[in-house]
Chains A and B, each alone.
Chain A
Amino acid sequence: GEDVEQSLFLSVREGDSSVINCTYTDSSSTYLYWYKQEPGAGLQLLTYIFSNMDMKQDQRLTVLLNKKDKHLSLRIADTQTGDSAIYFCAETLYNQGGKLIFGQGTELSVKP
């Protein structure tokens, strides 16, 4: 079945690293995504990883994928107050018309 789960809250201090975790259940996932949602705004794609990769780095963002454990993580280095938002993990399934299945989101709070 399709299910994506995330922890609901994370609080860090400015300058620290943040790690947001996600588990998914469908092994046929082709791409996995991290989206960011700021208050009152739509979802914005942060980064994605193809299922045959185990790591992707993009500036302050590092995505790690463990296919065996169906675990995805997003690490934000040098977290800033502007990174405070809700982060959603999502998967897309092969031959499912490109629809994304989202987790419930992790609210990241960055304290100065």
Chain B
Amino acid sequence: NAGVTQTPKFRVLKTGQSMTLLCAQDMNHEYMYWYRQDPGMGLRLIHYSVGEGTTAKGEVPDGYNVSRLKKQNFLLGLESAAPSQTSVYFCASRDWVGTEAFFGQGTRLTVV
């Protein structure tokens, strides 16, 4: 049972490049979340999904897009990366009944 897996673990992008981060969970959870965490700061919610085919904006959605075509996968896209998007990105999932959330190990993204 892998839980929540994020791919890739590390990435360096040049300004203006695009990329997609993948979050996969094998627990059949309805809710999935993407966060960013800047150095010394807390978790900020980017986008979330409450089920397959749904997405919604969180606290800091600008510059990001998401898709949930399959229940087990939640994709985070950066269309035109900016240095301000340098951060560690965490994905999480939980069941709809409000049980505990499970987090991935993070993706460290650097935009130069």
- Does B bind A? no
